[in-house]
Amino acid sequence: MTDDLYKKMVLALPGDFFKDWQWHIGDKALCLDSLSRGEVILMEGICHGLVKVAWVDRIFLETEQECIDRLRPVPSQKQLQSIIKQHWLKSDDTVKDYDVLVFFQDWFRVRYGSSYTYGLRYKEIENESIDCIWLRYTMHVIYNKNWNGEAWI
């Protein structure tokens, strides 16, 4: 289940974040038709506030340009890790999946401390989902931006 904070963080992402997005079966997306003043509002019918892509075929891909204006992908943790890896591969073709995890761990420890030591900033994220934390890291890596509770700055 995708929590409301994660939806809010995804909606605030810069437009070019999804420029190379590849749709896959099972992807989650927010239906932007259901937005009112920046809030996700559930709608009845086919398009709900959170939808799952049921198929990716030629017809879907041909109409993706129309859909993209109405659907915002909701990246999974695995997809965020892949986005980071692809970003790093632009400058270092030796990057491995393991590197993404090691650097995430280092970033987390430096930025937030640990739950055992209660780092000074740990309170900022103690109630956030792992998706929120990975999105914070992805935005730090790619844009050097941080979440302030309302926007990426």
Q: What is the pLDDT of residue 44?
A: 32
Instruction: Tell me the C-alpha to C-alpha distance, in Å, between residue 7 and each of 53, 59, 67, 118, 135.
Output: 16, 27, 18, 27, 11
**Domain regions of the chain by residue span:** 4-74, 77-143
Q: Tens digits of per-residue pLDDT, 12-22? A: 999 889 888 87
Residue carrying structure tokens 């986005």 = 83
Q: Tens digits of per-residue pLDDT, 91-122? A: 888 989 999 999 999 888 888 776 555 555 66
Q: Please check the confidence at residue 55 and state whether its pLDDT lies above 80.
A: no
Of residues 87 and 68, which shows the higher confidence score?
87
Q: Please check the confidence at residue 80 and state whether its pLDDT lies above 60.
A: yes
For CA atoms 122, 79, 16, 101, give the dihedral sign: positive
The tokens for 27 are 């992807």
Neighbour count for residue 89 (Cβ, 10 Å):
11
Q: Tens digits of per-residue pLDDT, 124-149? A: 777 889 999 999 999 999 999 999 99
Q: Is 105 exposed, middle or buried (0-12, 13-18, 19+ CB in 10 A)?
A: exposed
Residue 51 CB partners (closer than 8 Å, separation 6+)? 28, 29, 30, 31, 71
pTM here is 0.77
Q: What is the pLDDT of residue 4?
A: 85
Q: What is the pLDDT of residue 124?
A: 74
Q: What is the pLDDT of residue 52?
A: 57
CA atoms within 13 A on the CB side of 5: 16
Q: Which residues pair with 71 in a beta bridge?
A: 31
